[in-house]
Structure formats: C-alpha cells, structure tokens
Amino acid sequence: MKGLILAGGKGTRLLPLTLNTPKPIVPVANEPFLLYQIDLMRSGGIDEVILSLSYQPRKIEDLLKDGTDYGINIRYVVEGTPLGTGGAFKNAEEHITSTTVVFNGDVLTALDLSAVIARHKQSGAVATIVLTPVENPSAYGLVETAADGRVLRFIEKPGPDEVTCNTINAGVYVLEPSVLRHIPRGEHYSFERGLFPALLEQKELVMSYILDKYWIDIGTPQKYLEVHRDILAGRFASKRIPSSALDRSGLAASVLIDAKSIIDADVTIRAGVRIDNSVIGRNCKIEEGAQIVDSVIWPGTTLDADSRVHGAIVGKGCYVGRSVFVRPGVVLGDKTVATDFSQL
C-alpha cells in the first residue's frame, strides 16, 4: 500500500507566511508540517509516500530528500500547472499500482489510519472518504451517508432547511487504482466535485469513515495559530512535537517562562522577558523586558527591548523594534521590520 500527499498548493490563505515557505513545510511546533503527515502514514503501515508538488518544489525536496531520515521512501511528482486534487492523483498514475491513501496537504489529525484502511478493505469499496463532524454544517459542503456508512450524496453549502447531516470531507481518502479511469489526464479535476459524484453515478461503492479524533485544516493564519494553542494545551499529541529544548539554568531570575511554551535550544533570552503559551524557533533573540504571549515566532527573528507580541504570528528573520506592540491577529511576513515604538 502507498500514500500520496497533495502538497502542491500555493497556500494563498496563509499569506504572507507562504511567500518564501511552501505551506507543506511551514513549521508546526518547530517541525515541518509534512512530517506530521508522514508520521501518520507510517502509523498505517505505509512505507512509500508520493509527494505531489507544484509550488516551490525544490525547497520541499531539499528538506525531505528520499525520506530515509524519516523512516519512509519518498517519491516526487511535480505538476507543471496546478491540477486540483483529482488531477494531481491522475498525474501520479504511473506510481499508483495498489490501494493508495491520499491526504490533502493541509490537514492535521490524530486519525487512526489503520482502522480506516481496515474498514476500506473489509467493505470492498473503490473509495473510502474520511468525514469529520462540524458544529455549523451550513458553512460547508456536506457528505450524506447511510446507516451502513455508504456515501449517498454531496450537498454543497446547504441552506438551513437542506441540512441533513453534520459531516464534511476531512481530506483523507483511501482509493483503489481503478478510480483513475474516471479522471481525465492533464486537466484540472476535483475529487469532491468530479470523481466522487461520478463514482456514485456509476453505482460504484463509496464508503465513509467518521472521524472521532482531533482534526483541523491549518490553511489560514487563524487556524495555524489555533493548532499551536491546541498543541500547547495537549488537545493534539504527537511524538513529533518537541519539548522545550531551552536550557533555563542560565537565564536571569527575572525571566518568566511558563511550562507549556516550546522554545528552541538556540534562542537568546535577556533579563525581564516574559513568555507564555508560545512557540519560538531557532536563532531568535528576545531582548530585555520583551513579552511574547499566545504567539508563534519563526526562526531568526529579533524582538528588541520592551516589545510585546500578543496573539500574533511573526515570520522568519523579522525585526520587532524597541517598545513595539504587535496586537492579536497580526501576521508578519518574513523579514518584516517594525520600527521602534510602533503599534501593529
């Protein structure tokens, strides 16, 4: 069995963070996001993963190489132009010779992948779609299922009187190679609006698996920040998540750092600094009296004296000047300079 990760998107919803960093490798708790998905693939017994790339593929290849360092064999397939979820699957056709698990490239979940694969094999379906329940069904396209788990229909952005269920596509699929014949070659084509409805029309068996564990789409700054809050609060757990590596023994007595924050070992922290519920990447410098609360700081960033970053995301190599206040909801792209005493 193989895995395919659809990692070709430009990550436009995550701008400006994705201008220089492809979304699949943005840091989550200081680890490239794709590694969490690769770990999940391995948990399902998958030892070969195909990465479907399009946007800045070399950066991803240079980081992951052949996968040896991560206990898996990685192959790369690059799209000349974005082909959509189904089109990307078709583009990798020469490598898809057996049942294949497919992940959307922006989903973080604690799914029991082995259980999904077992359900798929037992049912004899050509496709199994993992679904997750949501609180506000009218904001999504819904997937309606029968009592035995068969997918019955897809309902796009239903009105209040059209809501018949609360389950949406979670971006995880198990597919048989036979579905490839339904997908046109070299065209932009969607699983959700093309392949799956076509399979239902052809009376093919499409099954569902209802997810009852953690799931989130990290594709917006708000959700990206939420992921980190969930990790720090213990709502999502993974062996991939590092403990704080900072040696606190040499810090000034006036430094206040909570027990939850994740801080790289290569971070300089001066006297009077306060860090609470935050993640800080390598080679950052936090000067006297600075405060970081409910925030994510990417590598190579400097916060000058008495600066405050609350509820924000700060990209790579930024400079936040003296007595600057970065307010909740702000996202600073790489190499941003916030001048002294400014408020963002």
Q: Quick: pLDDT tens for 146-155.
A: 999 999 988 7
| Gap between the Cα atoms of 105 and 9, Å rounded | 8
Q: Where in the chain is the domain with CATH 2.160.10.10?
A: 248-338
| Gap between the Cα atoms of 4 and 48, Å rounded | 9
pLDDT tops 70 at residue 339: yes
pLDDT tops 90 at residue 5: yes
User: What is the model's pLDDT at position 158?
Assistant: 63
pLDDT category at 139 given cuts 50, 70, 90 is low
Architecture of the domain spanning 248-338: 3 Solenoid (2.160)
Q: Could you tell me the CATH superfamily of domain 2-220?
A: Spore Coat Polysaccharide Biosynthesis Protein SpsA; Chain A (3.90.550.10)
Q: Quick: pLDDT tens for 270-328.
A: 999 999 999 999 999 999 999 999 999 999 999 999 999 999 999 999 999 999 999 99
User: What is the model's pLDDT at position 162?
Assistant: 67
Instruction: Identify whether the C-beta of residue 44 lies closer than 8 Å to the C-beta of residue 101.
Output: yes
Q: Where in the chain is the domain with CATH 3.90.550.10?
A: 2-220
User: What is the model's pLDDT at position 165?
Assistant: 77
DSSP string, 74-105: EEEEE-SS--HHHHHHHHTGGG--S-EEEEET
User: What is the model's pLDDT at position 167?
Assistant: 87
**What's this model's pTM, rounded to 2 decimal places?**
0.92
What are residue 279's phi and psi, to 5 degrees?
Answer: -125, 130
Q: Quick: pLDDT tens for 166-221.
A: 888 899 999 999 999 999 988 899 898 899 999 999 999 999 999 999 999 998 99
What Cα–Cα distance (Å) separates residue 45 from each residue in 40, 129, 209, 310? 9, 18, 18, 41
Q: Quick: pLDDT tens for 47-101.
A: 999 999 988 889 999 999 999 999 899 999 998 888 889 999 999 999 999 999 9
